[in-house]
Chain A
Amino acid sequence: MCEYVLKTEGLGISFGGLRAVDGVELRVRKKQIYGLIGPNGAGKTTVFNMLTGVYQPTRGTFYLDGEELKGLSQDKINQKGIARTFQNIRLFNNMTVVRNVMVGFHNLPKYKCSFIDSIFRTKRHRDTERAMRARAKEILSIFGLLDERNLLAYNLPYGKQRKLEIARALATNPKLLLLDEPAAGMNPQETSELMETIRFVRDKFDMTILLIEHDMSLVAGICDELTVLNFGQTLACGETSEVLKDPEVVKAYLGD
């Protein structure tokens, strides 16, 4: 077992000569809630996109549990154990809530069922379908979405769509969960509920969580450690309370 669940080494990417992200060093320990913060345009989402294979890093590399994942395709990286949510919610809108979660089970060895099995509706197909549905219901009940399971995803209210996205990401059984601004567009009440959910996910699933957030109350409330990015570079990193006191960080956020 490796000390860090996620370790990046000098991770960076250039777009047409512009160094969007440069030399990012993240060290995320097991069961940690790790915050990635910074002003708009600091390159936070770009880091997520590199970690999930949407962009290929041009410099540096990253390891999940000691295994180098750089260069793999998006679905392969997900299979290796990194799942994510999106800033602008991306659900399978015309599918029911329960099926959204079931898509997440696609690659789990437990629910292996070949194309041929499905076409002939073999016993294996029927068994896995039943097991997947049951497991999906379990996950949904954890998130309080069980009653809405047969609703089409786009009919869910906003806060529940965010929850469903997290549920779907968890369904892929990841080692590391990336949350991209989970509190965006939420009121303080919903945000505090969300904090509870995130903590609960960490405890219930033994999950390691890396999140991007602008809401400082949420960051200060749940993050164990922080990395602050500014103009694609690491401005500060360390324990949350200390980082938030750092004069450089305050300056980056509030200006001179």
Chain B
Amino acid sequence: MSAFIVKFKNIKWKRYTNYIGISLVLLVFTVLTLADSLPQSTLFLLEKIGISIILSISLGLVVGFLGELSLGHAGFMCIGAYIGGKTAELLSDVGVEGIFALLISVVVGALTAAVFGFIVGLPALRLKGDYLAIVTLAFCEIVKTAFENSSKESFGGPMGLRTPRFDKHYLFIIIFSFILVCLAVMQNLIRSKHGRAITAIRDNEIAARATGINVTKYKLLAFIISAAFAGVAGVMYSFANSTVAASAFDYNYSIEILVMVVLGGMGNITGGIISATVITFLNVKLTTMLTGDNAVLKDLVYALILVLIVIYNNAPALKYVRERYNIRALTDKIFKKRSDVSYDTDDEGKWDRVPTKIKMDELLSVDVVVRESVIDPDKEGKE
């Protein structure tokens, strides 16, 4: 018995906060929905929040841990939504419905998105920073155009694909279960040698290669996993809505997901979950409150907050303000723990120190065939 207590005390609770938080929310609302006391709007909100959390965690892998900017996350979600929705439709034609059909659709949708993640990951091997961001954005537009111009029989064309809606009382339970799966994969990946390889590439790609890391493999891996979970979110979206229209997965939606990741703190999974929850909650609430052209006030405020937070977190001139007033210092004060901010045992790199990959010199360099370039002998020795 005492051995059990010792073991219990030794558990690193910090590792499990995300699971515990999500599980508690899931438990509370499951009880409520079983008691039939949840209004439909709350269920709808839960579904949306759950989908956002999956998107935020999955994009966080590429942006926060691999250090590459992707503006096409909505594109992967779009693929998942269409392919998953179509699979569900085909399955219901042959009489397969319910949870079984959902699981098959998720697998098919996630795998298809993963394949596209691989394809988009290929340019990432040669391009960095702004260039890669533009390629992912272009990819998202291409996907959207392709689905919008599909025939009515295949993917519904511009009107969108009609999809079978899942039992709305229980869909959020499945979505939250997938959050747990997503969390498990991401956290276990990050806390393994493979995750270390990915963060090593973020911090210094040249040193990572020299240390024996297969950069190609790990960049592709990060893109594939990230895309696969965006695909899962897409399939969930198709089950939560009766139609899937490509126009929903536009550039602005990709930006919204990026905002969740950035506001949550890059490389910080818990932060990503919290900001995804808050932003989606506000989104839904504000959309019902603001009608017509006023709805845009919401976007205006988001944009302003995004700019202000990024400037506050990054402006070199504000460094000292930042070091005095930040949440980490505050929580440390409350819990009377270490006050030295330089200690950080979880590789959650501080946002103001995170990727500096987009340097002009490095930007155009990767593909450059050395023997074609003119070398300056004076510089060669110094670097």
Tell me the A residues contacting B by CB distance below 8 Å. 13-16, 18, 20, 38-46, 52, 54-56, 58, 73-75, 78-79, 83-84, 86-88, 90-96, 99, 102-107, 111, 113, 115, 118-121, 125, 128-129, 132, 150-152, 154-155, 168-169, 172, 231
Q: How far is the CA of A106 from the CA of B198 in the complex (A)?
A: 11
> A42 to B381, Cβ gap below 8 A?
yes
- B330-383, CB < 8 A from A: 342-345, 347, 349-350, 353-354, 370-375, 377-383
Q: In the A-B complex, list the 4 residue pairs whose CB atoms are closest, starting with the nearest.
A: A94-B349, A118-B192, A15-B375, A78-B212
Min Cβ gap A119→B in Å is: 5
Known contacts A90-B207, A106-B213; is A121 also within 8 Å of B188 by CB?
Answer: yes
> A15 to B371, Cβ gap below 8 A?
yes
Q: Beyond A20-B377, A75-B212, list 9 extra A-B contacts (CB 8 Å).
A: A15-B371, A45-B381, A46-B380, A79-B212, A91-B204, A92-B200, A94-B347, A99-B196, A152-B342
> A78 to B221, Cβ gap below 8 A?
no
Residue in contact with B207 in the complex, picked from A16, A40, A92, CB distance below 8 Å: A92
Q: Which residue of B lies closest to A94 (CB)?
A: B349
Min Cβ gap B89→A in Å is: 31
Assess whether B189 is interfacial by the CB under 8 Å rule: yes
Assess whether B105 is interfacial by the CB under 8 Å rule: no
Chain B residues closer than 8 Å to A128, beta-carbon distance: 193
Min Cβ gap B21→A in Å is: 20
Min Cβ gap A161→B in Å is: 12
Known contacts A42-B381, A99-B196; is A93 also within 8 Å of B353 by CB?
Answer: yes
A-B contact pairs, 25 of them (CB 8 A): A16-B372, A18-B374, A20-B377, A20-B380, A41-B377, A43-B380, A46-B380, A54-B206, A75-B209, A87-B383, A90-B204, A92-B207, A96-B344, A96-B345, A107-B212, A115-B194, A118-B194, A119-B185, A119-B188, A129-B192, A129-B193, A150-B344, A152-B342, A152-B343, A152-B344
Q: Which residue of B lies closest to A86 (CB)?
A: B207
Assess whether B208 is interfacial by the CB under 8 Å rule: yes
Q: How far is the CA of A92 from the CA of B193 in the complex (A)?
A: 14
Q: Which residue of A lies closest to B205 (CB)?
A: A90
Q: How far is the CA of A44 from the CA of B193 in the complex (A)?
A: 33
Q: Which residue of A lies closest to B267 (CB)?
A: A94
> B206 to A45, Cβ gap below 8 A?
no
> A40 to B371, Cβ gap below 8 A?
no
> B343 to A95, Cβ gap below 8 A?
no
Chain A residues closer than 8 Å to B209, beta-carbon distance: 54, 73-75, 78
> A55 to B370, Cβ gap below 8 A?
yes
> B192 to A15, Cβ gap below 8 A?
no
Residue in contact with B382 in the complex, picked from A15, A40, A83, A99, CB distance below 8 Å: A40
Assess whether B136 is interfacial by the CB under 8 Å rule: no
Min Cβ gap B65→A in Å is: 10
Q: Which residue of A lies closest to B350 (CB)?
A: A94
> A105 to B193, Cβ gap below 8 A?
yes
Chain B residues closer than 8 Å to A169, beta-carbon distance: 210-211
Chain A residues closer than 8 Å to B68, beta-carbon distance: none
Q: How far is the CA of A154 from the CA of B207 in the complex (A)?
A: 14
Known contacts A96-B347, A120-B188; is A103 also within 8 Å of B208 by CB?
Answer: yes
User: B172-209 CB contact bits vs A (8 Å, 1 = yes)?
Assistant: 00000000000011001100111111011011101111
Assess whether B214 is interfacial by the CB under 8 Å rule: yes
Q: How far is the CA of A14 from the CA of B354 in the complex (A)?
A: 36
Q: How far is the CA of A118 from the CA of B354 in the complex (A)?
A: 25
Min Cβ gap A59→B in Å is: 11
> B374 to A95, Cβ gap below 8 A?
no
Chain B residues closer than 8 Å to A41, beta-carbon distance: 377-382
Q: How far is the CA of A213 from the CA of B338 in the complex (A)?
A: 41
Min Cβ gap A236→B in Å is: 18
Residue in contact with A91 in the complex, picked from B184, B207, B221, B267, CB distance below 8 Å: B207
Q: Which residue of A lies closest to B346 (CB)?
A: A96
User: B223-240 CB contact bits vs A (8 Å, 1 = yes)?
Assistant: 000000000000000000
Q: How far is the CA of A121 from the CA of B214 in the complex (A)?
A: 22
Residue in contact with A45 in the complex, picked from B354, B377, B380, CB distance below 8 Å: B380
Chain A residues closer than 8 Å to B207, beta-carbon distance: 86, 90-92
Q: How far is the CA of A53 from the CA of B377 in the complex (A)?
A: 20
Assess whether B215 is interfacial by the CB under 8 Å rule: yes
Q: How far is the CA of A119 from the CA of B214 in the complex (A)?
A: 19
Known contacts A40-B378, A75-B212, A78-B211; is A14 also within 8 Å of B371 by CB?
Answer: yes
Known contacts A96-B345, A96-B347, A118-B188; is A45 also within 8 Å of B194 by CB?
Answer: no
Q: How far is the CA of A111 from the CA of B200 in the complex (A)?
A: 18
Chain B residues closer than 8 Å to A90, beta-carbon distance: 204, 206-207, 210
Q: How far is the CA of A231 from the CA of B378 in the complex (A)?
A: 10
Q: How far is the CA of A90 from the CA of B206 in the complex (A)?
A: 8
Chain B residues closer than 8 Å to A125, beta-carbon distance: 192
Chain B residues closer than 8 Å to A44, beta-carbon distance: 381
Chain A residues closer than 8 Å to B347, beta-carbon distance: 94-96, 99
Counting chain A CB atoms within 10 Å of each CB, the highest count among B199, B202, B381 belongs to B381
Q: How far is the CA of A56 from the CA of B209 in the complex (A)?
A: 15
